[in-house]
Amino acid sequence: MRGPHNIWRLIRTGATFIRTGAMHQALEAMDAPPRLRAVAYAISAPFAWLGYKGDPDLPPVTRAITALGPAYIKFGQVLSTRPDVVGSELADQLRVLQDKLPPFETSVAKRMVEEELGAPADQLFMEFSEPVAAASIAQVHSARRADTGERVAVKVLRPGIERAFRRDLDAFHFAAAMIERISPASRRLRPSEVIKHFESVVMGELDLRLEAASASQFGANTEGDAGFVVPQPVWNLSAKRVMVLDWAEGLPMGDPDGLRGAGHDVSGIGERVLQLFLSHALRDGFFHADMHHGNLKVAGNGDILAYDFGIMGQIDEYTRRVYAEILMGFIQRDYKRVAEVHFEAGYVPADRDVDEFALALRAVGEPIFGMDATHISMARLLAYLFEVTERFGMQTQTQLILLQRTMVVVEGVARSLNPSINMWEVAKPVVEKYIRESLGPRAIANDLRKTVQVLGRFGPELPDLVKAAIRKQTEPTPPPVTVTRWRYAALISAGTALLLLGVVLGELL
């Protein structure tokens, strides 16, 4: 229940932010209204002695968050994808937040395996290691299946984590409501919306069946991507709190020297990471939204291995086309077209001046193109672009925000492997290919085919609908003639359109 009982936990939270020195930085980053800042200090400062000390080696905000526990750590990770809320500087700090928590006992993990899978862990697995990784929500063990002898990764939720998260979510919702009540000006920060977004992400991660489904979908989408491997779930050994995946051995992506020592083309791997991400986002509309060094490895044969599918991004087909046209417009330095795409998509209000907007976009793009290749950044371009579009009245596009944040992460990975990488040159063939396939004649044919399929579902009903419309003409109290004729004409037009689309589709194919 989101009642006053949450006040104590929130006081402890504020006290920890005061004690670690994180309060000022967090409020500044979010540009919190003065009244909200005053209330936050007034409530928290007297209780600073109750706050957790945290790790003094960490930056203030990450120090406070890690001290407060798993729910706060995960909240920090989610906020790292929302620079529109916390600002770019704090988002970058939160992005490196690591889930380095003490593991729980292996015996507890085995007990949970038995509870979830209905058989003792020692019966299902001939080997079951100590934890090889421990995060805020779960930990991972290496194991070997008893039936096949294959090595697998066993991910187990922390015991009691659902209850702990629900308790903290309750406090977060209570805090958001109080903030909006105390300071109406804070509503521009959308605290309640942010908490709802966080809740949707976390609730998905607390059900490992959903993560297994994401791994399965991601694997199916990328099956044809040479040199990219997604470990697949073992469905008969996976449940809500336990997930078993294929084991994939590799060297950490964050160790360039180790990769070079193993004979890998480090520069080529950096380029592939960027191109693969863009392909997944544009081609599939389903991408890994937490693609940092810790979730990527390189196999002995050079394949890139991806892990941890708790946070995935999705973009609908229309948004992908808009995004691709925007990127291509910048690549070609056609700022007028980039401006027109924003207006066509409805991102910028129609009452704004398109030429003025194009000029503002030129001010964004030209300085970047004048940079040395080592400084060219699509992520920086998108960040500047969002600043400009906000000034022209563009509403925040959550899908594009997540995409932009992931782009920052992927660029960081690519540059760590190849500091001289030219982002535009690497991205250009991927964007061009998508535009050819999604905006050219073949795309038109596919769109028409889909339209025919939709209309085809109603085809068998058209005669009855037409008869019903004609029959209404003879009813004692018919509706207005204009309406009846309009409906009749619409039905005839739909049937005619169906035939014409079929003919056009046949010509194009």
Residues catalogued as catalytic: 290
Instruction: Report d(CA 416, CA 83) in Å as an integer.
Output: 22
Q: Which two tokens stand for residue 145?
A: 């299946």
Start-end of H helices in 418-460: 423-439, 441-458
The Cα angle at residue 482 between residues 476 and 486, in degrees rounded to 5: 110
160: left (phi over 0), alpha (psi -120 to 50) or beta: left
Tokens of 14: 């504020």
Q: Which class for 3: exposed (0-12), middle (13-18), buried (19 or more C-beta within 10 A)? A: exposed
Closest CA to 365 of 405, 402, 332: 332
- Rounded CA gap, 195 and 177, in Å? 10
Q: Nearest to residue 385, comparing CAs of 372, 396, 373?
A: 396
Alpha carbon distance 55, 112 (integer Å): 31
d(Cα 391, Cα 388) in Å, to the nearest integer? Answer: 5
**Helix, strand or coil for residue 145?**
strand
Say which residues have a Cβ less than 8 Å from residue 162's Cβ, sequence separation at least 6: 206
- What gap in Å lies between CA 497 and CA 509, rounded to an integer? 18
Tokens representing residue 450 in the block:
């889909």
Q: Check the CA dihedral 344-348-349-353 and report its sign.
A: negative
Q: Environment class of residue 77 by beta-carbon count within 10 Å: exposed (0-12), middle (13-18) or buried (19+)?
A: buried
Residue 56 φ then ψ, to 5°: -65, -15
Token pair for 447:
């769109």
φ, ψ at 167 (rounded to 5°):
-65, -45
- With contact defined as beta carbons under 8 Å apart, do 498 and 456 qualify? yes
Residue 97, judged by CB atoms within 10 A of its CB (0-12, 13-18, 19+), counts as buried
Cα–Cα distance, 280 to 221 (Å, whole number): 8
User: Could you tell me the CA-to-CA distances from 140 to 49, 102, 359 in Å, in that order?
Assistant: 36, 12, 52
